[in-house]
């Protein structure tokens, strides 16, 4: 595949926290990015700006800040696009009166970013809520006719004073931040009376005088307009702010028209979900027939269609909350509702139906001249005439997808070609085409080069994937494990060649490799900008009833099959190089497991999980106290407890009897057993997972917290130290805002008495605990050191034990460097853990009684002190499951090549 770009630019770092936290849950953003892309970004991030001008440094600083809400590739891409037009054509932003009252800081933060990036949107604001209040306070009864406010002389006078005051408030707020803004309040919106007798001083805009707007922008200032118009003889008239913004947009023809709304978008009246994107050419007629599209919603959609019909096809409308303006402008996923005219799509089942064959060949070649591409495409097109296919494309073939229906006994279709131009990505056609072909083919497979800059776009549309040799096999709709296993096995053995000559990408690669062998150096690449971009980083909200918005970034040519067992759940990692397919390695061979130290509660919980696992074969269970007794709760085979010594373990390891050793021993006891495994070559090749704290500070071991540690590292490890229960919950509760912490966090933790183990003590004596709360290790607890070491900064942990059996509750008090709101903090956590199967974010404080027996971590609360400088986060976890046994199984699955959540019930 090959690819192209678009882009925008950035602001000042003193408001980094606000801008950083102003992101909403994105529509569809994958977690993973190719290693090459990550490395390039890493190199890019180390560039020195010492020789930059102050303005360039500010711009670069904002880009770095905005990269927190998306990828640097996205930020640069959109900046390039926005910078490619004249300044007045960048964006028109309509600001409602409620935004000026309740969200002024967020608005100014976002505008400050744009200003630093030398982007100058035209701001049009209203003041409806403020006007209503003033009129009510003055005893003036509001009157409306057909939804239009009747504006008499007194109302007009109040409105004019109010709008000018609000205008000045916004201008001053921006100027105080170093953003040059100027009021543009006269001779811009020219109007006649709408109906003087009926509405009195209400205007009907007849003309927009662009000169004052353009003059302000030439002076590098943001033009701030009110929704007041004038007649030719100077009479001021009231006009609706939405109407004013629309008319200004018609005059300026901007790339973006943004309506800031407290709701943050349009919502499907049936599902109550936010509508991610609307392609009017494809969806308008059907949308207007929906029973919930009525009243104000119907009017708004009709008016937006009329507006977009008058604008260039490249223009779009976004309805967005002010907190999320940066995400809407600078990320592929956006945050609100994106509305475009889109393109009419077509479908053909023959070469004749596709029309001009020469044009088709040019589309398939795209930018591949010089690599024998023309000859390859010639043969490929000829092959299409001899087999059934369905092609999906727009009028200009900016996007072309060719699907080969299932043949013979197969029920899986093959996406053999998917080629998109830069314009096709930017105008959302790629998503529209993919959605259309998906309706016809519920089971589909395809392949993509792992270096392709748009790889995450395909991850978003797949149920599973597996990678091999620089290629990634994707699929959706394949639910039977056996089908997946067979598909993966064939791909692992043959790669794209498994699809023969039906895969254009495979043919082009072979042709290029052959040409390279003749020339002595490889010149073929699947990217027009190889490894030039980074995929988005944060999670997306659930898909709604409408299409997902396209991921811009390149023209590409995809081909061929695949995927993996469970749906992808790639996670944010501290090492930003999550591997592809690691949760779905092609391993269906059972693993022989030995559990050393199985008497404790954790050992019992792990035995239960292993009993459910299709590929974990428990062979030995060691417990000195239970030796000779039959193991209960394991149904796959009869097992009797043994009292295995290190010598026994050494002999078993030498024979290769065991694939996975799980050490469920007390702290300080594990080493002789690990040493025994390490004494033989076969033993060193086996996997050891230690549940104690013995190796959590050993750099030669991998710390196995999959949600925060690079899964690739875990996948490739033979020695894994399982995190502690308190430590897992604490790290999950702190990691998303680690960079924002101002001083040492304090963790007040309370565990059920199962955390005190099975050996009798006052800490697990129910009679002693009843009506009681027992603190222990008030300082320097082992988990305190563990959390501090993993997070890279000191924390204080104060553990307690209570009368319930299992489950931990953390109350974490975190000082902040800069003020933040509860909503901003919560959004950071939602973005950080979106897509993580075993982490749940809730607005309320989670309850420990609801986590017992569950396999996930729950995070909530997010209460911010009135100063804005301290946040309190609550975390709950089952100490025996995700705090120990469940996490152990995750690590075993990753390291042994099974699905990460295989054997975990309810996942």
> Do 302 and 173 belong together in one domain?
yes
| pLDDT for position 113 | 84
> Do 672 and 733 belong together in one domain?
no
Task: Give backbone dihedrals phi and psi of 48, rounded to 5 degrees, phi first.
Answer: -90, 135
Six-digit token string for 84:
């490619």
Q: Please report, for the domain that includes residue 685, its CATH number.
A: 3.40.50.720
Inter-CA distances, 363 with 376, 436, 575, 707, Å: 13, 20, 39, 42
Domain-embedded: residue 325: yes
Burial class (CB in 10 A: 0-12, 13-18, 19+), 154: exposed
Query: CA 457 to CA 30: how far, in whole Å?
Result: 7
> Do 302 and 358 belong together in one domain?
no
Six-digit token string for 803:
């009368």
Q: Strand pairing of 839-841 and 91-95? A: unpaired
| pLDDT for position 5 | 27
Query: CA 598 to CA 603: how far, in whole Å?
Result: 4
pLDDT tens per residue, range 831-843:
888 878 899 998 8
Query: CA 641 to CA 624: how far, in whole Å?
Result: 8
> Do 251 and 300 belong together in one domain?
yes
Domain-embedded: residue 418: yes
- The yes-or-no answer on residue 108 being catalytic is no
Task: Give backbone dihedrals phi and psi of 365, rounded to 5 degrees, phi first.
Answer: -75, -45
Tell me which of 108, 670, 725, 888 is the catalytic residue. 725
Q: Are 363 and 400 in contact, with CB atoms under 8 Å apart?
A: yes
Q: Are 202 and 238 in contact, with CB atoms under 8 Å apart?
A: yes
CA angle at 625 for the pair 621 and 627, rounded to the nearest 5°:
50
> Do 204 and 101 belong together in one domain?
yes
> Do 640 and 777 belong together in one domain?
no
Domain boundary, last residue among 697, 721, 745 = 721
> Do 132 and 266 belong together in one domain?
yes
> Do 85 and 138 belong together in one domain?
yes
The secondary structure of 46-73, three-state, reads CCCCCCCCHHHHHHHHHHHHHCCCCCHH
Q: CB within 8 A of 802, min separation 6: which ones?
A: 750, 751, 752, 753, 769, 772, 773, 774
Inter-CA distances, 708 with 499, 507, 537, 832, Å: 37, 40, 14, 10
Query: Structural domain of residue 188, as residue ranges?
Result: 72-340
Domain-embedded: residue 223: yes
Q: Are 124 and 246 in contact, with CB atoms under 8 Å apart?
A: no
| pLDDT for position 55 | 60
Q: Tokens 């059907």, residue?
A: 286
Query: CA 498 to CA 487: how far, in whole Å?
Result: 10
Domain-embedded: residue 901: no
HSE-up of 78 (CA within 13 Å, CB side)?
Answer: 29
Burial class (CB in 10 A: 0-12, 13-18, 19+), 776: middle
Q: Tokens 């008319």, residue?
A: 247
| pLDDT for position 513 | 55
Three-class SS state of 749: strand
Query: CA 276 to CA 268: how far, in whole Å?
Result: 10
Query: CA 52 to CA 46: how far, in whole Å?
Result: 14
> Do 228 and 82 belong together in one domain?
yes
Domain-embedded: residue 698: yes
Domain-embedded: residue 203: yes
φ/ψ bin of 525: left (φ > 0), alpha (ψ from -120 to 50), beta (otherwise)? beta
| pLDDT for position 14 | 32
Residue 406 neighbours by CB distance under 10 Å: 13
Six-digit token string for 490:
């064939």
Domain boundary, last residue among 443, 477, 503 = 503
| pLDDT for position 332 | 62
| Whether this model's pTM surpasses 0.85 | no
Q: Spell out, as residue ranges, where the chain has pLDDT lower than 70.
A: 1-78, 80-81, 83-88, 146-147, 296, 332-333, 367-372, 423, 426-428, 453, 456, 496-588, 599, 756-760
Q: Rg for the chain (alpha carbons), in Å?
A: 31
Q: CB within 8 A of 228, min separation 6: which ones?
A: 159, 160, 163, 185, 189, 236, 237, 238, 239
By C-alpha distance, which of 176, 17, 12 is closest to 818? 17
Query: CA 510 to CA 60: how far, in whole Å?
Result: 41
Query: CA 65 to CA 326: how far, in whole Å?
Result: 11
> Do 412 and 321 belong together in one domain?
no
What does DSSP assign to residue 274?
A: B
> Do 228 and 351 belong together in one domain?
no
Domain boundary, last residue among 450, 485, 503 = 503
Domain-embedded: residue 20: no
Residue 811 neighbours by CB distance under 10 Å: 18
Q: Please report, for the domain that includes residue 224, its CATH number.
A: 3.40.1160.10
> Do 155 and 179 belong together in one domain?
yes
Query: CA 185 to CA 189: how far, in whole Å?
Result: 9
Structural domain total, the chain: 4
Q: Are 276 and 328 in contact, with CB atoms under 8 Å apart?
A: no
Q: Please report, for the domain that includes residue 443, its CATH number.
A: 3.40.630.30
Query: CA 420 to CA 364: how far, in whole Å?
Result: 10
pLDDT tens per residue, range 318-369:
999 988 888 778 776 677 888 888 777 889 999 888 888 888 888 887 765 4
| pLDDT for position 372 | 64
Domain-embedded: residue 519: no
């Amino acid at each position: 595949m090959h690819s192209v770009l678009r882009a925008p630019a950035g602001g000042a770092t003193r408001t980094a926290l606000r801008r950083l936290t102003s992101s909403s849950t994105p529509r569809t953003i994958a977690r993973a990015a190719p290693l090459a892309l990550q490395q390039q970004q890493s190199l890019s991030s180390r560039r020195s700006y010492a020789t930059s001008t102050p303005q360039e440094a500010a711009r670069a600083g904002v880009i770095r800040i905005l990269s927190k809400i998306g990828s640097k590739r996205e930020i640069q891409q959109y900046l390039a696009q926005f910078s490619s037009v004249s300044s007045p054509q960048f964006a028109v932003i309509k600001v409602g009166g409620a935004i000026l009252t309740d969200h002024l800081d967020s608005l100014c933060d976002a505008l400050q970013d744009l200003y630093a990036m030398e982007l100058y949107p035209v701001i049009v604001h209203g003041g409806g809520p403020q006007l209503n209040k003033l009129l009510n306070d003055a005893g003036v009864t509001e009157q409306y006719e057909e939804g239009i406010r009747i504006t008499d002389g007194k109302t007009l006078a109040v409105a004019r004073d109010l709008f000018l005051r609000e205008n000045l408030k916004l201008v001053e707020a921006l100027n105080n931040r170093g953003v040059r803004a100027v009021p543009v309040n006269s001779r811009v919106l020219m109007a006649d009376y709408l109906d003087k007798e009926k509405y009195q001083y209400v205007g009907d805009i007849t003309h927009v005088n662009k000169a004052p707007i353009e003059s302000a922008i030439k002076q590098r200032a943001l033009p701030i307009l009110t929704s007041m118009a004038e007649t030719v003889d100077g009479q001021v008239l009231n006009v609706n702010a939405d109407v004013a913004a629309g008319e200004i947009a018609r005059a300026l023809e901007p790339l973006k028209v943004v309506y800031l709304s407290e709701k943050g978008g349009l919502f499907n009246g049936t599902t109550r979900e936010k509508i991610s994107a609307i392609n009017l050419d494809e969806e308008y007629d059907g949308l207007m027939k929906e029973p919930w599209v009525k009243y104000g919603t119907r009017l708004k959609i009709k008016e937006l269609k009329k507006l977009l019909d008058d604008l260039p096809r490249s223009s779009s409308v976004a309805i967005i909350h002010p907190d999320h303006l940066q995400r809407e402008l600078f990320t592929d996923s956006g945050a609100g509702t994106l509305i475009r005219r889109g393109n009419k799509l077509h479908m053909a089942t023959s070469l004749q139906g596709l029309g001009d064959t020469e044009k088709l060949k040019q589309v398939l070649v795209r930018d591949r001249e010089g690599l024998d591409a023309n000859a390859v495409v010639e043969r490929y097109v000829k092959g299409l005439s001899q087999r059934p296919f369905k092609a999906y494309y727009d009028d200009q073939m900016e996007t072309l997808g060719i699907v080969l229906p299932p043949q013979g006994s197969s029920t899986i279709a093959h996406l053999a070609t998917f080629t998109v131009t830069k314009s096709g990505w930017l105008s959302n056609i790629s998503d529209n085409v993919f959605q259309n072909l998906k309706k016809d083919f519920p089971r589909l497979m395809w392949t993509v080069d792992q270096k392709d800059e748009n790889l995450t776009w395909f991850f978003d549309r797949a149920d599973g994937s597996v990678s091999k040799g620089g290629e990634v096999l994707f699929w959706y709709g394949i639910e039977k494990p056996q089908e997946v296993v067979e598909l993966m096995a064939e791909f692992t053995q043959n790669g794209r060649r498994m699809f023969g000559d039906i895969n254009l990408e495979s043919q082009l690669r072979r042709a290029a490799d052959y040409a390279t062998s003749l020339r002595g150096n490889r010149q073929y690449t699947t990217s027009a900008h190889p490894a030039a971009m980074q995929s988005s980083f944060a999670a997306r909200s659930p898909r709604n009833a409408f299409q997902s918005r396209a991921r811009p970034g390149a023209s590409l040519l995809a081909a061929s099959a695949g995927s993996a067992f469970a749906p992808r759940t790639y996670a944010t990692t501290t090492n930003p190089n999550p591997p592809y397919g690691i949760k779905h390695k092609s391993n269906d061979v059972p693993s022989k497991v030995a559990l050393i130290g199985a008497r404790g509660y954790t050992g019992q919980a792990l035995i239960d999980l292993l009993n459910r696992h299709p590929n974990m074969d428990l062979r030995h269970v060691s417990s000195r106290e239970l030796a000779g007794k039959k193991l209960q709760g394991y149904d796959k085979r009869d097992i009797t407890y043994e009292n295995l010594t290190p010598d026994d373990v050494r002999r078993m390891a030498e024979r290769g009897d065991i694939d996975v050793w799980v050490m469920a021993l007390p702290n300080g006891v594990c080493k002789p057993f690990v040493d025994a495994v390490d004494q033989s070559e076969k033993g060193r090749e086996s996997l050891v997972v230690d549940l104690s704290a013995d190796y959590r500070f050993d750099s030669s071991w991998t710390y196995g917290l999959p949600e925060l540690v690079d899964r690739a590292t875990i996948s490739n490890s033979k020695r894994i130290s399982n995190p502690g229960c308190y430590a897992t919950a604490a790290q999950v509760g702190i990691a998303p805002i680690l960079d924002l912490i101002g001083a040492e966090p304090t963790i007040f933790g309370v565990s059920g008495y199962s955390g005190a183990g099975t050996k009798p003590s006052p800490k697990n004596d129910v009679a002693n605990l009843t009506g009681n709360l027992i603190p222990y290790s008030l300082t320097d607890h082992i988990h305190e050191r563990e959390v501090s070491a993993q997070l890279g900064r000191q924390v204080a942990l104060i553990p307690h034990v209570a009368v319930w059996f299992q489950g931990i509750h953390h109350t974490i008090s975190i000082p902040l460097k800069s003020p933040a709101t509860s909503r901003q903090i919560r959004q950071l956590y939602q973005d950080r853990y979106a897509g993580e199967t075993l982490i749940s974010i809730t607005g309320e404080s989670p309850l420990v009684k609801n986590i017992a027996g569950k396999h996930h971590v729950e995070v909530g609360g997010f209460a911010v002190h009135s100063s804005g400088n301290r946040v309190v986060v609550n975390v709950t976890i089952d100490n025996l499951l995700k705090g120990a046994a469940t996490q152990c199984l995750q690590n075993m699955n990753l390291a042994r090549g099974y699905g990460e959540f295989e054997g975990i019930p309810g996942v």
